[in-house]
Amino acid sequence: MTLISRSPVRISFGGGGTDLASYYEKYGGVVVSAAINKYFYTILEIRLDDRIQLISSDLQVHHTVRDFYDLKLGKGLDIPVAVLKHFNVQRGLNLFMASEIPPGTGLGSSGAVTVNIINIINELERLKLTKQEMAELAYDIGYNELNMPIGKQDEYAAALGGVNFMQFNKDGTVEVEPLNIAREVRVRMESDIMLFFTGRTRESSKILKSQDNAGKDDKEVVVESLHKIKEIAFEVKKALESGDLNEFGRLLDDSWHIKKNLAKGISNPKIDKIYDLAKKNGALGGKLTGAGGGGYFMAYCDKPHQKAVTKALVKEGLSPLDFHFDKKGATIINGD
């Protein structure tokens, strides 16, 4: 028996950081994000013996144990181990994991990984979990079982797909509202939102831990910045649903300048140079797609200026990435 599952990564348009528990449990958070057609894949094959073999192409890690009881954290593949242990999967299997996007690039890959492995176990064991349940469980495993300093948006984007307005309530519940965007606006968004790989992956946990601790300690500059970022997310929703994409670009610019107040390491001279070049050549606004420090740079730029922006950023060593929005979220694409 072989199963293949895929889950999309995401780009965030507004509200990032307000999905951390240290903020939303006090004030409530909101995020506008879109799943894109760059996927994390998992292939599961049932074995005839009790061995469990875990292989990550991205991390170049291979781990084989005698049986379920030999699975241990701390061997470099904590997410699949935690999911298998959570579901008490006591059967031999091979689990191969690979992504179209390298890890540490700010597109929510760890959330996509967790959701995807839950999705394939959900299919294997016929558990009938809903996508919302899978998203919440993925967050619980990452945040509570593995003590990862994560927010909630990545898991919901990976599980549900689409372009969504997410509300993270003080009690931990999440409400997801698909944005009401006209088809022609969606097409223009896919055309005018540009993604570039900076060539640098980064460890987001340090930045997120710093921001999380500042939120727990109620550091005024961080909390006030997150309040403003949340307000901008509501404005982003309004701009996208009304089709005012120039306003959307300007809001990205406002949010980026505020985001840099959240923690050290979000930006650096290289990233500041990239951002300034993009704006100088016609982009209305932009941001790094994740916690900061590296990964993918996203810019909003009208078609007539895109060639100049691309030329300037490629000259700085960046690589463009074409994408479309994903509508399905976590999906089983093969089963026999």
Active site residue 154: yes
Q: Where are the beta strands (DSSP E) in the chain?
A: 2-14, 29-46, 52-56, 61-65, 93-99, 163-168, 174-178, 193-197, 285-288, 296-300, 319-321, 331-335
d(CA 292, CA 271): 9
Residue 154, C-beta contacts closer than 8 angstroms, at least 6 positions apart: 10, 108, 110, 111, 112
Residues comprising the chain, all counted = 336
Within a 10 A sphere around the Cβ of 290, how many other Cβ atoms?
26
Q: Nearest Cα to 250, choosing from 267, 238, 268?
A: 238
In the set 154, 192, 253, 326, the catalytic residue is: 154
d(CA 80, CA 72): 10
Burial level of 192, CB count in 10 A (0-12/13-18/19+)? buried
d(CA 303, CA 151): 33
d(CA 146, CA 169): 22
d(CA 279, CA 275): 6
Secondary structure tally for the chain: helices H, strands E: 11, 12
The torsion defined by the Cα of 278, 296, 36 and 180, in degrees rounded to 10, comes to: -50
d(CA 253, CA 238): 16
Residues annotated as part of the active site: 154
